[in-house]
Amino acid sequence: MPMNPSLPVADAVLLVLMVLGLPVRAWLAMRRLRAAGPGELPRLRPKLWARAIGTQWLLVVVVVALWLLRGRPLGWLWLNAHVGWGAGGIVLGLALIALIQQPQRRNLAASPETVARLRRRLEGVGRLLPASRGEWPGFVPLALTAGICEEILFRGYVTWALLQVVHVFWLAALLQAALFGLAHAYQGTRGVFLTFGAGVFLTGVVWISGSLWPAMLAHALLDLNAGDLAIRVATLPASRSAEGA
């Protein structure tokens, strides 16, 4: 990935807007969700999902427009069509994990301990995730948007921008993953560390495959998985979900 002696001013401004603006927007949205009553949540969630979708796609449009105006190859954002040999192994691994998890998901109601553990895992984002199958169609575009846009913005653009400053790929990648974690500060300390780990993992996926596309798929599947688990836990009978909590 070629480097410039320094980061152009327009890119520096865009980078600052992203690393500061996205966490603030997410924090404000989460504050509204936490302040909302139970009856208001089903109406509020889709509105906040739509705003998040619009914000992320707007940033991607700005990034791509700036990229093309500067005459930079899309391959520098890892948006090249060529996907390396590692992508097949990544996709196969994801498929195997999904197959292994499916029986466990169907039997959640028979395992109060698992339900209690999942409830603790989802505690920081529970109000942001869907609580019923009726909300699923609205959540899917959000998960797909996060999978596509956050990979372009963080694994692609932020990594490139930081590389122009630190000039060492692994350091730029770690800083990018840290910023990705901080962008999810609304989830609490545990959420920051988990998303930092996810950022490192997804950066590895990009490095191994040579492209953002497998990372986009993995990211979207992770978010869809979280939404599906949230619905399954939320829709269990109260007596079951309360056991072991």
What b-and-e string marks burial along 5-37, b requiring 16 or more CB atoms within 10 Å of the CB?
A: eebeeebeebbeebbeebbebbeebbeebeebe
Q: Give the per-residue pLDDT at 242.
A: 42
- Sorting pLDDT into bands at 50, 70 and 90, what band is 16? very high
- H runs (alpha helix) in 70-111: 86-106
Task: Give the separation between CA 231 and CA 223, rounded to whole angstroms.
Answer: 13
pLDDT digits (tens, 9 = 90+) for 98-127: 666 666 666 666 567 777 777 777 777 888
Instruction: Match 């399954």 to its residue by tokens.
Output: 232
- Checking if the pLDDT of 196 tops 60, the result is yes
> 183 and 26 in contact (C-beta within 8 Å)?
yes
Helices and strands (H, E) in the chain, number of each type: 10, 0
Task: Give the separation between CA 101 and CA 64, rounded to whole angstroms.
Answer: 37
pLDDT digits (tens, 9 = 90+) for 48-81: 999 999 999 999 999 999 999 999 999 999 998 6
pLDDT digits (tens, 9 = 90+) for 223-245: 998 898 888 888 776 544 444 43
> Considering the chain, what is the average pLDDT of its residues?
86
Q: Give the per-residue pLDDT at 83.
A: 65
Instruction: Give domain limits for the chain.
Output: 9-242
